[in-house]
Chains A and B, each alone.
Chain A
């Protein structure tokens, strides 16, 4: 089933019988691939996103995701797979940010202006590549806002391998990274290689962003990286549990978003971002409520 077929085909209506709906959802091969890819990506994004939020590096993630756009467009222009361009650009940009943040001489003001300039230039470059590649202008939106049609078996396999590698490296460095993230000075004093961990984590973040961008598009990566992790941290202070919770929220958001989008005429990107935002708001509300009850109990005592 091609994209054009999908656009003209009538939108399937949900029967509200859960089992029948699920069966319909999994009926097409492209949908099974999309859900498999979404699952793999959500697990990786949940874990990497947790550390990203913990380390306060959301804007680094934002920069990486936008730099991925010229990577994907450039790869298409050269006749390569967009995923390869995404991965190379994201990891290269991650290492670049790591190198930049080492030179402390630059004042903060100049640094954010430089990041803003580089961001805009990267996006402009992506636009140039896309217009140079004739007929690709329609593909820009898919790159920026994601698509879940047309994910091939090979792509699912690639995403799976990338995610497994990422999770394996993450598992190896989770303990020292947690230490270094929470208290960098104490960790450095205890001989933890803080600098090395920081650069390695940025590179992993690059991989995670490149993966997530293939589902959500480069502009909406934050929906999977930030919101689930931020929601988890609102609810739970213990790192292991919070990480699990973050993965769980990312999974739920992806599955629900894709399923709802399948039964509606509107794009996946909208549902995934809205659900992620709702999860974050819900977590804030739960915490606020718990805090209020805690205060009241304290006042009563």
Chain B
């Protein structure tokens, strides 16, 4: 270890890892990225990107409602996204003009979030003015050891559930009619999956914030989809890409302190997506 530390890069990494906030961020970030990568692959496959977007809006309001009421923010975060995911799955259907309903409802949900934000910052003496910003854009460096362990466990749990139902879920996602005919419980799986997506969004909010949660979930998965069509391999690649983005993003923002970690993570993910898209176009034309 000491011999390695003599190499400048390793010495620098050792110094970075000596900070508690970095260790917590890496620990939590790994679990969060695992959940987001695995769920993100299915979100892209099932074409539910906009449901993910809607869930992240709800997460903002849920977290701030918990702040304003003075209850555990994690409760508000996970509770709101999972409940809303189940509600969306129940209402379901693909009637025309649904995007109008979604748009109207979620503009109002964000408006409610603004109300909770102002309730929190004006009425609670412990309120701090940057609560809104940290919910919107994340504060991964502010996670406590306890929160980091919860995030890691929740991420591992999501990945385990997805792994357990991967086969029927993939079948139902790729061809729901045939799957239903073969006796796969398509509707129940869809509901369970949206609930998992709710958990993944709530996880992502803790790392990169409600506004960027969609990016952590969808961008690495979308990059993998450009290059890899094998569904099981894409699971692993998508999770690996998300984890790599989080680790590299945290390192980058530690090295260049003016870069906020959430920007570094999403920026790297977007760079990976652009490169993957370019590679797939190049492969198709050659």
User: Across the interface, do B262 and A116 meet the contact criterion of CB distance under 8 Å?
Assistant: no
User: Across the interface, do A144 and B100 meet the contact criterion of CB distance under 8 Å?
Assistant: no
User: Across the interface, do A125 and B263 meet the contact criterion of CB distance under 8 Å?
Assistant: yes
Over the window 94-119 of chain B, the binary record of Cβ atoms lying under 8 Å from chain A Cβ atoms (1 yes, 0 no) is 00110111111111101110110111
User: Across the interface, do B44 and A113 meet the contact criterion of CB distance under 8 Å?
Assistant: yes
B219 partner, pick from A116, A223, A270, beta carbons under 8 A: A116
- Residues A127 and B137 in contact in the complex (CB < 8 Å), given A120-B215, A220-B111, A274-B108: yes
Q: How far is the CA of A274 from the CA of B110 in the complex (A)?
A: 10
Main secondary structure of the interface of B (DSSP, over half): helix
- Residues A141 and B99 in contact in the complex (CB < 8 Å), given A119-B214, A124-B263: no
Q: How far is the CA of A55 from the CA of B214 in the complex (A)?
A: 26
Q: Is B203 positioned at the interface, with any CB of A under 8 Å from its CB?
A: no
B215 partner, pick from A58, A124, A138, A144, beta carbons under 8 A: A124
Q: What are 13 sample pairs from A and B whose C-beta atoms fall under 8 A apart?
A: A58-B103, A59-B103, A114-B277, A117-B270, A120-B212, A128-B263, A219-B110, A223-B111, A265-B118, A269-B111, A270-B111, A270-B112, A273-B110
Q: How far is the CA of A230 from the CA of B105 in the complex (A)?
A: 12
User: Across the interface, do A117 and B222 meet the contact criterion of CB distance under 8 Å?
Assistant: yes
Q: How far is the CA of A125 from the CA of B115 in the complex (A)?
A: 26
Q: How far is the CA of A273 from the CA of B53 in the complex (A)?
A: 18
Q: Is B260 positioned at the interface, with any CB of A under 8 Å from its CB?
A: yes
Q: Shortest CB–CB separation between residue A198 and chain B, in angstroms?
A: 17
A243-295 contacts to B, CB under 8 A, are 265-267, 269-274, 276-277, 280
Q: Shortest CB–CB separation between residue B160 and chain A, in angstroms?
A: 25
- Mark A residues whose CB is within 8 Å of B: 53, 56, 58-59, 61-62, 108-110, 112-121, 123-125, 127-128, 131-132, 137-138, 140-141, 144-145, 219-223, 226-227, 230, 265-267, 269-274, 276-277, 280
User: Across the interface, do A116 and B260 meet the contact criterion of CB distance under 8 Å?
Assistant: no
User: Across the interface, do B115 and A266 meet the contact criterion of CB distance under 8 Å?
Assistant: yes
- Residues A120 and B214 in contact in the complex (CB < 8 Å), given A113-B44, A115-B49: yes
B273 partner, pick from A62, A117, A123, A124, beta carbons under 8 A: A117
User: Across the interface, do A112 and B110 meet the contact criterion of CB distance under 8 Å?
Assistant: no
Q: Which 8 residue pairs are nearest across A and B when measured between Cβ atoms?
A: A120-B215, A273-B111, A222-B107, A113-B222, A277-B108, A124-B266, A270-B115, A121-B270
A229's closest neighbor in chain B, by CB?
B100
Main secondary structure of the interface of A (DSSP, over half): helix
Over the window 26-66 of chain B, the binary record of Cβ atoms lying under 8 Å from chain A Cβ atoms (1 yes, 0 no) is 00000000000000000011010110110000000000000
User: Across the interface, do A117 and B219 meet the contact criterion of CB distance under 8 Å?
Assistant: yes
Q: Which residues of B contact A144 (CB under 8 A)?
A: 136
Q: Shortest CB–CB separation between residue B270 and chain A, in angstroms?
A: 4
Q: How far is the CA of A112 from the CA of B262 in the complex (A)?
A: 22
B130 partner, pick from A116, A137, A227, A265, beta carbons under 8 A: A137
Q: Which residues of A contact B273 (CB under 8 A)?
A: 114, 117
Name the residue among B114, B129, B208 with the largest chain A CB count within 10 angstroms. Answer: B114
B100-152 contacts to A, CB under 8 A, are 100-108, 110-112, 114-115, 117-119, 122, 129-130, 132-133, 136-137
Known: A120-B218, A144-B136. 17 other contacts (CB 8 A): A56-B96, A113-B44, A114-B277, A116-B49, A116-B219, A118-B270, A120-B266, A124-B208, A124-B263, A124-B270, A127-B137, A131-B260, A220-B114, A223-B108, A266-B118, A269-B111, A277-B105
User: Across the interface, do B222 and A128 meet the contact criterion of CB distance under 8 Å?
Assistant: no
Q: How far is the CA of A127 from the CA of B259 in the complex (A)?
A: 10
